[in-house]
Amino acid sequence: MTPVTVGFLLHAGIERLRMAGSESPRLDAELLLGHALRVDRTTLIAHSDAPVGADAAASFEAGLERRLAGEPVAYIRGFKEFHGLALSTDPRALIPRPETELLVDLVTAAIVERLIAAPRPAGTPPLRMIDVGTGAGTIAIALAVELRRRRIDDDVSLIATDASAEALQLARENAVGHGVADRIQFELDDLAPWDATLFDIVAANLPYIPSGAIAGLPVAASFEPVVALDGGADGLDLVRRLLSQLTRVLKPDGAAFLEIGSEQGPAVTAATRELAPGWQATIVPDLSGLDRVARIEAAG
């Protein structure tokens, strides 16, 4: 009997996924077969003639069936790559998106800029940064790991909040897995723990999909918690709530970074003028030139 090969399974899986309407059939098939074989995609492509054992083939078939039913690949594999990390994923929280990596990079640059702007003698309190609506801990953990890599993690105090206790538990698990649980203070809160101490940096990837657009999202999105996607009539309900509170939680020289939808720049700019007097929004596009992050700072 001719052994089943990597190439054969990939070709068959791609065709089945394509017929089922997958938006990325080749990527999905490669990720699922790689997961079944415990190898990366590069290894698969380089060894298309390699035989696949019965157990691995059965594991691939089981994952393929789940994907054909619409379940996201990240939930099937149990993790998603983000900013060089593998973050655990399950239905407790939104799956990390590559678009959010831009926000992490912008926040990292803002932190470094503040740390090198002036001497910091011994005893200088750390910068205070908060990740609002942390979900799986995506932003806070990526930042903590990056700050540790740069050896400036002692200079920044990180807080991460979420209104979902289940999402917050997943975030804690991810923080433990990446060795930064002692660097992040997790808080169960609707938006942020508004204490008397102001923040230097606020980051947030709040739900920003308009309610009417939820039904039209890919089937995979229906497996994710709807509260992590639905941003109200125009997608900006929670963004507006956060904007209305920025003036009393952000330092005068602080900055907020909010991920937004690809066409929401004008609306967020207008909402900032209305709800955060004295502050202005600068829209930072992604590599495709689409609106992606609103950077909010004091006007002038």
For the stretch 70-117, pLDDT in tens is 999 999 999 999 999 999 999 999 999 999 999 999 999 999 999 999
pLDDT of residue 123: 87
Q: What is the pLDDT of residues 257-295, one digit of tens each?
A: 999 999 999 999 999 999 999 999 999 999 999 999 999
Closest alpha carbon to 37 in 23, 51, 49, 24: 51
pLDDT of residue 58: 96
For β-strands 279-285 and 291-298, DSSP reports them as: antiparallel
Neighbours of 5 (CB within 10 A): 15
Q: Which CATH superfamily is domain 6-69 in?
A: Ubiquitin-associated (UBA) domain (1.10.8.10)
Same fold, 6-69 and 94-298: no
pLDDT of residue 125: 93
Q: What percent of the chain has pLDDT over 90?
A: 89
Write down the domain spans for the chain: 6-69, 94-298
**Cβ distance 180 to 204 under 8 Å?**
no
| CATH class (in words) of the domain with range 94-298 | alpha beta
pLDDT of residue 139: 98
Please compute the mean of the pLDDT values over residues 18-22 and round it to a whole number: 92
pLDDT of residue 247: 84
- Residue 195's pLDDT band, with cuts at 50, 70 and 90, is low
- Residue 300's pLDDT band, with cuts at 50, 70 and 90, is confident
- Residue 53's pLDDT band, with cuts at 50, 70 and 90, is very high
pLDDT over 90 at 176, yes or no: yes
Query: Hey, is 114 helix, strand or coil?
Result: helix
pLDDT over 90 at 120, yes or no: no
Instruction: Characterise 123 by phi-psi region: left (phi > 0), alpha (psi -120 to 50), beta (else).
Output: left
Q: Tell me the average pLDDT of the chain.
A: 95
- Residue 2's pLDDT band, with cuts at 50, 70 and 90, is low
pLDDT of residue 196: 60
Q: What is the pLDDT of residues 140-163, one digit of tens each?
A: 999 999 999 999 999 999 999 999
Q: Give the lowest-confidence range in 106-115, 194-203, 245-254, 283-292.
A: 194-203
pLDDT of residue 286: 96
Rounded to whole angstroms, the Cα distance separating 55 from 193 reads 49
pLDDT over 70 at 194, yes or no: no
For β-strands 184-188 and 199-204, DSSP reports them as: unpaired
Q: What is the pLDDT of residues 228-241, one digit of tens each?
A: 999 999 999 999 99
Query: Hey, is 87 helix, strand or coil?
Result: strand
pTM: 0.94
Closest alpha carbon to 35 in 62, 11, 8, 16: 62
pLDDT of residue 118: 85
- Phi/psi of residue 197, each to 5°? -95, 130
